Amino acid sequence: MRTLQRACQSLLTVLVVATATFVLVRLAPGDPFTSALENTQLTPALRAQLRATYGLDGSIGTQYLHWIGALAHGSLGWSTSMSMPVSQAIASALPATLALMGTSLGIAFALGIGIGALQARRQGSIADRLLGAGTLVGAAVPDFWLALVVLLGGAYWLRLFPVGGAADPLLPLTAGAGTVVIDRLHHLVLPAGTLVLLITAAVARQQRAALLDRLGAGWVRTATAKGVSPGTVFRRHALRNALGPVVTLAGLALPALVGGAVFVETVFAWPGMGQLASSAVATRDYHLVIGCVIVGSLMVVVGSALADVALQRLDPRTADAGADPGARLA
């Protein structure tokens, strides 16, 4: 019952976000045919036909009813800029974004947790200060600026990686699977590396703060007083309990990367959701913009659900308000 209630709330949230986007994009000046309709050779009848064909000839309320009706039948509409269904456009871009996001999140969280744990274990040392300064810079630097620097260093100065894209267009069709995989990984290094630098900094700072909070708790002192070695206390108790905030951050990072990757994907010409959304906004492709927003909203729901499941696996008592993370040591 609780799961069904949460699912209904999540769907309602997605619908509200999509509705707000629907209204906002139509209140903005222009429409998908603004540049085309400036052509004086177009007759008024043809202009009216174009608007009617794409459902832009009525009031916002009328357009919304048509859109809701199509959405109820599983249609996200037609992309005016790509001349294909919105679902097809998103389906073609989503795998590239998921590959970039999955690689970046996996590497970044592994590095971030390790760096944060090292800082907490050696609090106040030179290593802690240097790593703290590095993560502070990484968390503060703009993503588009870092992407440009990485592109300049990796593709221009070192000339080790391609400038952009997800695959070599000159790769023979007869190339083997191993060659194709290596080519994809070669193109993935720079955009994924940029996101790894950005995410690792945030994860490391969160992990360090959470660990220092757990290490100062009374139950840690109790475990130490019982004769448990400091290494065991750190690894089996403090570190495990400190993963909660990081897991929550992982759930939030999943949808955030869809928006945050817009600049990174644009800089590296990565054919994913970020570049698709940027192009849709630039061309006033209403249905495609709303479709991208719906996908982002669904990722928020999925990320939150996955974070909850992971937290319950780490500590089944997370559903109990006020549970003491050190109670298991009592």
For 182-207, what is each residue's pLDDT tens digit?
A: 999 999 999 999 999 989 998 999 99
**Whether residue 115 sits in one domain with residue 26:** no
Asked whether the beta carbons of 261 and 195 are under 8 A apart, the reply is: yes
Write out the H or E segment, with its range, that includes residue 53. Answer: helix 44-53
66 and 107 share one domain? no
79, 108, 141 — which closes off a domain? 79
Residue 28 structural domain: 2-79
CA atoms of 112 and 143, how far apart (whole Å): 17
Q: How many CB atoms lie within 10 A of CB 30?
A: 9
Tell whether 88 is covered by a domain.
no
- The answer to whether residue 85 is domain-embedded is no
Looking up residue 206, the CATH number of its domain turns out to be: 1.10.3720.10
How many C-beta atoms surround the C-beta of residue 225 within 10 A? 8
- Say whether both 114 and 204 belong to one domain: yes
Q: Give CA 120 to chain center in angstroms.
A: 27
Q: What is the CA radius of gyration of the chain?
A: 24
> What is the arithmetic mean of pLDDT over 113-127?
91
Is a pLDDT exceeding 50 seen at residue 229?
yes
Sequence-ordered list of residues with C-beta below 8 angstroms from that of 38, at least 6 positions apart, any chain: none
Q: Kindly state whether residues 12 and 75 are assigned to the same domain.
A: yes
The stretch 55-80 carries a mean pLDDT of: 87
- Tell me the percentage of the chain whose pLDDT exceeds 70: 88
Q: Could you tell me if residue 143 is inside a domain?
A: yes
Q: Is residue 308 part of a domain?
A: yes
Higher-confidence residue of 130 and 249: namely 130
Let me know whether 38 and 156 are in one domain.
Answer: no
- At 219 the pLDDT is 74
Q: Are residues 73 and 162 in the same domain?
A: no
**Pairwise CA distance, residues 312 & 162, whole Å:** 42
- Same domain as 263, residue 143: yes
pLDDT for the residue 298:
86
Residues 155 and 179 in one domain: yes
Looking at this protein, which amino acid is placed at residue 30? G
Q: What is the pTM for the complete model shown?
A: 0.82
Q: Are residues 64 and 137 in the same domain?
A: no
**pLDDT-based confidence at 319, cuts 50/70/90?**
low
Same domain, 183 and 309: yes
DSSP 153-174: IIIIIS--S-SS-SS-TTS-TT
Same domain membership, residue 179 and residue 149: yes
Domain boundary among 28, 47, 79: 79
Task: Inform me whether the pLDDT recorded for 313 exceeds 80.
Answer: no
3-state secondary structure of 216: coil
* CA–CA distance, 147 with 9 (Å, rounded to integer): 37
Count of the separate structural domains present in the chain: 2
Q: What pLDDT sits at residue 191?
A: 93
Is a pLDDT exceeding 90 seen at residue 153? yes
18-58: per-residue pLDDT in tens?
Answer: 999 999 988 887 777 765 545 566 666 777 777 777 777 77
Tell me the average pLDDT across 238-265.
76
What does pLDDT average to over the chain? 83
Q: Are residues 176 and 296 in the same domain?
A: yes
Binned at pLDDT 50, 70 and 90, residue 108 comes out as very high
